[in-house]
Amino acid sequence: MQAESSLRKVALVTGAAQRIGAAIACHLHAAGYDLALHYRHSQAAAQSLRDQLNVTRADSAHLLQGDLAQAETPERIVAETLTHFGRLDALVNNASTFFDAPLETTTAGQWDALFAINARAPFLLCQAAAPALRESGGAIVNLTDLHAARPRPDILVYAASKAALEALTRGMATTLGPQVRVNAVAPGAVLWPEGEGDRAERQAMLARTPLARTGTALEIAEAVRWLLMDAGFVTGQILRVDGGRDARWV
């Protein structure tokens, strides 16, 4: 089994226990990847996902727990992935933190919390994973946000942290090429953050979206899969999967 599994590609997905992260993990697993599944607090959901994937294909999913706000965690979970699987072919920086962060009330601690997870951790993960990804000719996909390019006043610092990740995406593409491709997916409205906005506000936003609907987690997962597996001449790009919302922003 070990010899067989060593031939399969391996992806490390952060924030993989729930929501979009779990959809990405399941979609990549179905496409043939073995998975290192990172989670922070959602242990029960992570264990359930691991068990589900291992029933489908034995020994194909492994859990990694860690707080990415701690500077030592990224290097540790990359090392654990390599110890367990012996290789790394893809890194998906999905883990994110979100809360309102307007100019008037955001504290230095809140700034640091947003940037630690949304920008610093992906950078440190890419830094730690780079040697293995160069060896395998792998790829990186970062999950950013439509608001990185169109910041709302109430989430100003969150948007800035995602804009930093988009800048890192482009910079790492030039740094790690030609061996490693680096791209990002910027979702629009897919899964609403808990407690964000009211129904009327959401309907007004959808009315300004050319496709007039929310996206699905599977559509984001497919964009990630395509960038990892099929987009061989694509690097340094931000793929906006937003139903055309960015094209018609008002």
Catalytic residue among 145, 158, 186, 225: 158
Long-range contacts from 104-112, C-beta under 8 angstroms, 24+ separation: 106/156, 106/157, 110/157, 111/157
Q: How far is CA 95 from CA 14, 103, 193, 223, in A?
A: 5, 24, 14, 17
Contacts of 75 (CB under 8 A, 6+ apart): 124, 127, 128
Contact 61, 54 (CB under 8 A): yes
Closest CA to 176 of 235, 100, 120, 122: 235
The two tokens of residue 97 are 């933190």
DSSP 3-state of 96: coil
CA atoms within 13 A on the CB side of 207: 6
Residue carrying structure tokens 């067989």: 4
Burial level of 10, CB count in 10 A (0-12/13-18/19+)? Answer: buried
In the chain, the largest separation of any two C-alpha atoms, in whole Å, equals 57
Specify whether 158 is catalytic. yes
Distance between CA 8 and CA 42 in Å, rounded? 27
- Known catalytic residues? 158
